[in-house]
Chain A
Amino acid sequence: MIKKYFKTIGVIALNTFRETIRDRILYSLIGFAALVIAAGLLAGSVSLGQDLRVIESFGLTAMLIFLLIITLFVGTQVVWREVERKTIYLTLTKPVTRDQFYLGKYFGICLTTATSALIMGAMFLLEIYFKAHIFSVPALFSIIWMIFEVWLLTALGLMLSTFTAPLSSAIYTFCLALIGHASTSIWQIAQKSPAALKYILDVIYYLFPNLEKFNLRNEVVYAINPPFSQVWTTVVYFIGYTALLLVLGLMAFRSDEF
């Protein structure tokens, strides 16, 4: 019974993956990302011997930006498109529950973002190997953490897309991504703020996803691996927060009328 339940989710996920991966815009985004990552070589060549740190920081930041675009572009449209085109009825008339449909869509998008990240990551790691003849383990860690980050944002975008239009959902997700990356600054400002403002900033800091937990890009430049205690707390945080967003999304999706 459970096996069948998850098999259905798997089938929907695989179909969603096939559907999104065929999108030509995704190819152009990955192609453009490859160009930007490669452009790090040019920037590095005018950096007074700091090639590697420039290539690493430029490449990883470019990867994050393009993964965010892909997440916003794909994550906020997939469910909405099915509802808008009424193709969801075809699926739901079969022995498929709304939960299975929603989770299948989520894992399908995750598969797409992970594939994009792995393609870009492989190009990036090859570039570092070409430049410095090293295999950068911290860079690999950083890419894995980046995938976790976009998976969390996918859950967020998907949840928001259940009750808003795709554009609004994309804008909200983008804003929350910005807040998530400003979390360190928010915390620092909160420490120096008067009591009332501190309270508000503390709420923002603890409530919104702290995406700086997934940021290992600054450490890569100094070839620092994350400490083990941070690795597992980040994984637990990721699982907990993503599961929460999926549960909230499912609740909203169940009550949707279409």
Chain B
Amino acid sequence: MTTATANTFTAKAGWRTRLADNERLLWPLMLAPAILYIVLLVGFPFFLSLFYSVSDVTVGSRSMSFVGLENFRRVVATDTFWTALKNTLIFTIVSQVFVLVFANILAMSLSADFRGKWLVRLLILLPWVAPISLGAIGWLWIYDSIYSVINWTGQALRLLGPNEWPIWLGQPTLAMVSIIIVQIWRIVPLATVILLAGLTSIPQDIHDAAAVDGAGFWRRTLQITFPLLLPITLVAVLFGIIFTFTDMIVVFLLTRGGPYDQTQVLATWAFFTGIQGGDLAGGAAVSLFLFPVLVAVAIVFLLLARRSEVT
């Protein structure tokens, strides 16, 4: 039908109408600007980054030469790199395990109807929707070495002794715990709303049928809800991993990688090396270590999308 109408019009119209009716030309033309922008502003810088990592470029330099894998060798030879790699993995894995548990519990509590639900949802979404750099500053104040409200409350409730006053961001292990808490705080809302969307998509009939057959709450949860929720849980986890593994804001604002680089992650280390240290080549080499995880996540996404297309 479409082609028939198109033909009658092309007969008497000029090139402009012909173009406006020719889908084979129209679609590529409508897509081209967006794709061009993405190629120029994502693709090109990415290849530049690959190029920098095998060169000796610095912030001020006018010329650069090829140095092969020298930057990678140099980066891998430092202790800070290995600390950063280890911390990035701990930061990601520990926070995402907690996110998964918390988000599941929270999503199930929110799937029931109750009064004031919209307000509860607004409150629990705050950490995700507010700019994270500002939320992190809120935590900086909560973790303050002198005025920490956590310590005050701990002492008031006798959880901390009168002389116990943990310096949250000043001791290596505690600092790591602190930044992981903030990352959990930030990602839980996103994972919760994603899981909630999954929960509401499970038809109530299935639950009812299972209940009639005598399945209790736990059995329904473990044998119906969790399996049906698996693909969407995977989506939530993938986003959590991406937004945690490649994040630098939380660490950058709370500890700056300190004390003594003990909370440094790959992303902050790339920033301190490449931007503040002016060693663009070294920074590019560090940041490229983020790439394999990105590729892995992208592949899982593609598999998921293919699966949902088939079913």
Chain B associates with chain A: no
* B interface residues (Cβ-Cβ under 8 A, vs A): none
